[in-house]
Amino acid sequence: MKKCTIFYVSDGTAITAETVGHSLISQFRDIKFKQIRIPFIDSIEKAQDAAQQIGSAKGDYQTLVINTVVDIELRIIIHSGGGLKLDPFNRLLREIEDNLEIKRSPVVGRAHGVVDSKAYTARIDATNYALLNDDGVSVDYDDADLILLGVSRSGKTPTCLYLALQYGVKAANYPLTEEDLDRLKIPGNILKHKEKVYGLTIDPFRLSQIRAERRAGTQYSNQRQCQREVSDAESMFLRNGIQFLSTTDTSIEEISGKILVALNLNNRLH
Amino acid sequence: MKKCTIFYVSDGTAITAETVGHSLISQFRDIKFKQIRIPFIDSIEKAQDAAQQIGSAKGDYQTLVINTVVDIELRIIIHSGGGLKLDPFNRLLREIEDNLEIKRSPVVGRAHGVVDSKAYTARIDATNYALLNDDGVSVDYDDADLILLGVSRSGKTPTCLYLALQYGVKAANYPLTEEDLDRLKIPGNILKHKEKVYGLTIDPFRLSQIRAERRAGTQYSNQRQCQREVSDAESMFLRNGIQFLSTTDTSIEEISGKILVALNLNNRLH
């Protein structure tokens, strides 16, 4: 497989440059990309260092450079290192200025630097909420924006934490117990909030693997046991009209996005 | 303040479109933007619905539409709703194709949909690690990529979780105790990993507010107490040559990014 190096250079966290880069390189499946992040470029010395790194990068193609640094002097230094200069914003900003007849007021490192304190507090509060309402310890779900159900190790906790940190959504989770699964019944304190309940399922074979990493050779990680639990959980979701999805081949981002759509939570955010 | 509506339309999670949008609108501080996310547009019906939402949006300016949907038919339908069409990728993809003399192989919703299972497992493992090694319960930090130190409520846990979910970095955290602070000494099991230790500090007044939300009127949230703890923690960092930063006005993204740079962890990722 041929190789190509791509740099994400930014005066802030480089998250935006990296996100754009991921989208771009995902469209070229026949090339192996080496990704290098160079954040917080806010001085001539750092820009020179970045240029040097870019200049010495190796690959079978021209090196790609996604550069979101705002300061023009620093931009010029960075691009002295060579590579194909990819700027995702300048043209879009000009289009907005021209069409809306407004002028930008450029500020370095704004996108992820300056804190929008209301949104920030919401994210921290939601993270604390997720930690406090993890794994069925809650009895009161009144404050929850959503409640995730699923068998042990089906992906509930990482999803709740991602929803909290990324979107400020208060997500509780409840692991279905043997007793719940035997009775095919959802506990009453959760069922009364049915409009905000969502289910996670998972391929039983994968579940068995995941559980074996924790407790190999036990009933907990036994494949038949996993099959039975997953099948009972899915029956329970269907019987109670709970929407659910499989986490097996799905990224946390996509699981989270689909849950927000399903529970109609996209409009309430930000 | 004048208002403008901006849509993030995608066949995937819309995270990329939204990230680009945040960067763009952060450059126009005099406008209040209403942001609407429309993810998972993968059918004619959903595209028509998106077009209708775009068409009925209100604002003092032309509506902005960041559209990362790959399918051309769906794109046309979406843009029939009007608004200023902003495509962050098409031109960049063409530049890459032209300069590298390669052809893209477009796939719908790739960037955050398809799971890179090695990176995915690393993120889940790191999240579990952060949860298990939260608040000083560890005695063994051999597996940690980094160890965050700070007084209670200085932002350690959300930062560790973000580093895990976003970057697959194993971050443990240790809350400095009264005893540690009195002695200005870092516990031995942490100090032996000094090269991966990083400190968080916070404005004492803000700390007092945060603590009061949990336990108002206590010694724990008392402002003098907070001042003393923060001042002791900072002395301890300085005396032991531990790098640190203040979380007071800093987003989780920026805190995390700066820690990765300081501990030289950027090269090890992905």
- pLDDT > 70? residue B242: yes
Domain that holds residue B191: 117-268
Nearest to A102 among B28, B92, B257 (CB): B28
Same domain, A190 and A92: no
How far apart, in whole angstroms, are the C-alpha atoms of residue B220 and residue B214? 9
**B192 CB neighbour count, 10 Å cutoff:** 12
- CB burial of B8-44 (b: ≥16 within 10 Å; e: otherwise) equals bbbbbbbbbbbbbbbbbbbbbeebebebbbbbbbbee
Q: How far is CA A153 from the centre of its chain?
A: 18
- CB burial of B61-94 (b: ≥16 within 10 Å; e: otherwise) equals bbbbbbbbbbbeebbebbbebebbebbbbeebbe
Instruction: Mark yes or no for CB contact A62/B100 under 8 Å.
Output: yes
Mean pLDDT for the stretch of residues A220-244: 96
* Residues of chain B with C-beta less than 8 angstroms from the C-beta of A267: 36
Mean pLDDT for the stretch of residues B46-74: 95
Same domain, B162 and B253: yes
Last-in-domain residue among B100, B128, B159? B100
Last-in-domain residue among B33, B68, B100? B100
- Residue A270: the pLDDT is 47
Q: How far is CA A257 from the centre of its chain?
A: 9
Q: pLDDT (tens digit, 9 = 90+) per residue, A238-256?
A: 999 999 999 998 889 999 9
Instruction: Mark yes or no for CB contact A104/B27 under 8 Å.
Output: yes
Task: Give yes or no for a contact between B63 and B83, defined as CB atoms under 8 angstroms apart.
Answer: yes
**Domain annotation covers residue B17:** yes
Mean pLDDT for the stretch of residues A191-205: 96
Same domain, B136 and B257: yes
**Domain annotation covers residue A92:** yes
* Residues of chain B with C-beta less than 8 angstroms from the C-beta of A104: 27-28
- pLDDT > 60? residue B268: no
- Residue A139: the pLDDT is 74
* Residues of chain A with C-beta less than 8 angstroms from the C-beta of B154: none
Residue that wins the pLDDT comparison between B120 and B262: B262
pLDDT bucket at A267, cuts 50 / 70 / 90? low
**Domain annotation covers residue B112:** no
- Residue A33: the pLDDT is 93
What residues form DSSP beta bridges with A12? none
**Domain annotation covers residue A108:** no
Same domain, B198 and B156: yes
Instruction: Mark yes or no for CB contact B16/A20 under 8 Å.
Output: yes
* Residues of chain B with C-beta less than 8 angstroms from the C-beta of A243: none
- Residue B122: the pLDDT is 87
* Identity of the residue numbered A196: K
Same domain, B201 and B94: no
Same domain, A125 and A96: no
pTM comes to 0.86
- pLDDT > 90? residue B180: yes
Average model confidence (pLDDT) for chain A? 90
**Domain annotation covers residue B176:** yes
| Least confident stretch, A177-186, A192-201, A259-268 | A259-268
Average model confidence (pLDDT) for chain B? 90
pLDDT bucket at B137, cuts 50 / 70 / 90? confident
- Residue B270: the pLDDT is 47
Nearest to B113 among A62, A102, A251 (CB): A251
| Least confident stretch, A155-164, A188-197, B97-106 | B97-106
- pLDDT > 50? residue A75: yes
Q: Which residues are CB-contacts of A165 (< 8 A; sequence separation ≥ 6)?
A: A123, A126, A127, B158, B161, B162, B165, B252
Same domain, B215 and B167: yes
Same domain, A254 and A210: yes
**Domain annotation covers residue A37:** yes
Q: What is the ipTM of this complex?
A: 0.84
What's the CATH number where A11 sits?
Answer: 3.40.50
How far apart, in whole angstroms, are the C-alpha atoms of residue A89 and residue B73? 25
Same domain, A75 and A156: no
- Best A99, A133, A137, A165 residue to mutate vs chain B (most B CBs within 10 Å): A165
pLDDT bucket at A118, cuts 50 / 70 / 90? confident
Structurally, chain B folds into a number of domains equal to: 2
Helix or strand or coil: residue A55?
A: helix
Nearest to A100 among B61, B95, B158 (CB): B61
**Domain annotation covers residue B28:** yes
Same domain, A45 and A161: no
- pLDDT > 50? residue B27: yes
Question: B131: distance to nearest CA of chain A, Å?
Answer: 9
**Domain annotation covers residue A109:** no
Nearest to B127 among A102, A158, A266 (CB): A158
pLDDT bucket at A108, cuts 50 / 70 / 90? low
- Residue A76: the pLDDT is 95
pLDDT bucket at B120, cuts 50 / 70 / 90? confident
- Residue B121: the pLDDT is 83
Same domain, A33 and A66: yes
Last-in-domain residue among A48, A73, A100? A100
Same domain, B96 and B122: no
